[in-house]
Amino acid sequence: MPDTIIGQPIDRIDGKAKVTGAARYSGDRRAEHPAFGVIVTSTIGRGTITKIDIKAAEQAPGVVLVMSHENAPAQAPFKQEGEDRHARPKPQLAEARIHYHGEPVALVVADTFEQATAAARLVEVSYQAEAGLYELREGRRLAYPPSKMPNGKADSKVGDLERGLAEGAARIDATYTTPYQSHNPMEPPASLAFWSGDQLTIYCSAQLVDSAQKSIAATLNIPADNVELVSEFVGGGFGGKLSIYGDAILAALAARQLKRPVKVTLTRQQMFSVTTHRASTIQRVRLAASRDGTLTAIAHEVVSQSARMDEYVETAAVSTRAMYAAPNRLTTHRVVPLDLPVADSMRAPGDAVGQLALEQAMDELAYKLDIDPVELRIRNEPTQDPEKGVPFSTRALVACLQTGAEKFGWEQRPRVPGTLKDGQWLVGLGMAAAIRVNLRRPAAAKVRMDEDRRVTVEMDMTDIGTGSYTIFAQVAAETLDLPIESVTVKLGHSSYPDTPGSGGSFGAASCCSAVQQACLELRKKVDAGRGPGNVQAEATSEPGDAFKKFSQHSYGAHFAEVAIDSTTGEVRLRRMLGVFDAGRILNPKTARSQLIGGMIWGVSSALHEQAVVDPRYGSFVNHDLAGYHVPVHADIPAVEAIMLAGFDDKSNPLGSKGVGELGICGAGAAVANAVYNACGVRVRDYPFTPDKILSSILRPNVAQRR
């Protein structure tokens, strides 16, 4: 269908506010006569507080409150039950028990942030430490099937796996490991809370406004209607702001007790424990294929870390179920309870790490069969969902592979690894396919038009840097046949109509559908002679049954060129291309930004990123941006994303699919496969740091067994 305003690369309508400082993030919010809270965290990984001495802190200059488990107000207990895990009670300082290193044990509130910071250092805590379990490999003996999976069953089985493996002329049986990762958005979680009678207003960093409102209300044992939560601008989320943390709950508790506004901000170091992280995984992938490359069997078995106190499963094998055709199949998920901070969703949960394993295994199989890696994937393209047995809504993976190969110059890839050199650099090319489930949730929107035909859109949806403000304005403008300058979008207030929020790449599809429907209702009223002039409409959009009748995904293909210093083992990305099928692209500029951002994160997953656990204490030792390595400009040269034209009418009325998480899927595997093509040895332990690469080059047989 022809694009008018929708589909145009319009600049972010909130861009000027952000670059001039007019956009107010939670930490920027001000109030009259505020106090400032600083959280004190535990220094053991498991045990009990035997004594907490707050006297010196209470007597420090400017201190107005010191809160610990001994004097914290009553709160609802934590529970794992409930459909929405992000809406559960999140009590703080509720008991003497320590569940993980870095858990909040006290809050110090003072007239200034500096006074609170100084006084927090005066809190003395004594513990009865217990032996904790902190290593995934050591804890594998405790692995168990998760009690609940967010998308389907923990295990799936089709056909006879052992027979399929035996029938294969070539087989792969390899284990891949992925590390812990920390979200580390530019904006740390921050909350400003104040009360008016029994009504709480709280500004906080939240991806899911409705869930956050319910979580705070449930924790404080008050009606949800008594909480007005505001999250107009979020400085990055990636899943790290799906839940509410200690900053929000403690700010609300302290503000109620002090009867004055209280602001609490997490430090960068506290973000590694007080918020969530991506779980580490151990993944065994087995593949078997006939001589022509046709897969006869696929098995993907995943073990991942979960906090002992709060179960979470990394669904790393779920995307494998829809990726390639094979008559004999097995996927399993197991969790290992460790005494570590809570793991939860991070950008493309499950898929991002699962495809690091599957797509490297496919590359290994291609080399064993002496078949081009692109061609191997094309030969195993399914005609319908291999496990659900339903048709795909749309599927253009082959087009992504073929377009990417042509645009990247894939024919230049060295057939024999380790043979292309540029001085002391070993050069290689690699590729990987990508898949990400397409989701949609119920969403509502309110639209009103004033006498000047200016339109205001209201939703509790958030913008975490994805361009939500802009695409909603585009949909409203086109539906109402107005210039985009006539549309104002208001987001992030819990008093606005409910949406699923930002997460799972379902935000655009869900909320744009609601905006379009509300605008159509408004247009009916205007055409009937009821406007313009303060006329409004509200509508809810539901996903319907198309998600049961069709298998819905977005797709991609990544191509990467790397160079390896044969002396130091340093890996440098030289160029990277991603080609993507995500239905109708609502705004090519914001979509491209999301896709290349995900690709860069994939490079980081392959080469840089790892939160390291001290096995003695259960702490993340590199808990700052000095020790936790992410790519900088010098690490990322030419990265480009191509979006294929498409329209998926089974996804939503606008024909779009999610892009926010698609870009990271498969990206790291393309880099890993390029590393093999460059040096001729396999490293299966992510990330590929120089020490692993160098030992691989010097001792290839050792590296192959890792």
Length of the chain: 706
Distance CA 592, CA 578 (A): 10
Distance CA 397, CA 406 (A): 14
95 is catalytic: no
Q: The tokens of 666 are what?
A: 């498969």
3-state helix, strand and coil shares in percent for the chain, rounded to the nearest 5? 30, 25, 45
Contact 203, 248 (CB under 8 A): no
Contact 693, 679 (CB under 8 A): yes
- Indicate which residue of 103, 187, 301, 661 is catalytic: 661
Q: In the sheet that 124-129 helps form, which strands lie side by side, from edge to edge?
A: 97-98, 47-53, 124-129
Buried b (16+ CB within 10 A) or exposed e, 266-300: beeebbbbbbbbbbbbbbbbbbbbeeebbbbbbbb
Contact 193, 201 (CB under 8 A): yes
Contact 422, 438 (CB under 8 A): no
| Burial of 588: CB neighbours in 10 Å, binned 0-12, 13-18, 19+ | middle
Distance CA 126, CA 113 (A): 25
Contact 284, 175 (CB under 8 A): yes
Q: The tokens of 163 are what?
A: 């027979």
Among 640, 665, 645, CA closest to 656:
645
Distance CA 470, CA 467 (A): 5
- E strand or H helix at 104: strand 104-110
C-alpha triplet 671, 628, 126: angle, nearest 5° = 145
Q: The tokens of 515 are what?
A: 């905006």
The set of catalytic residues is: 661
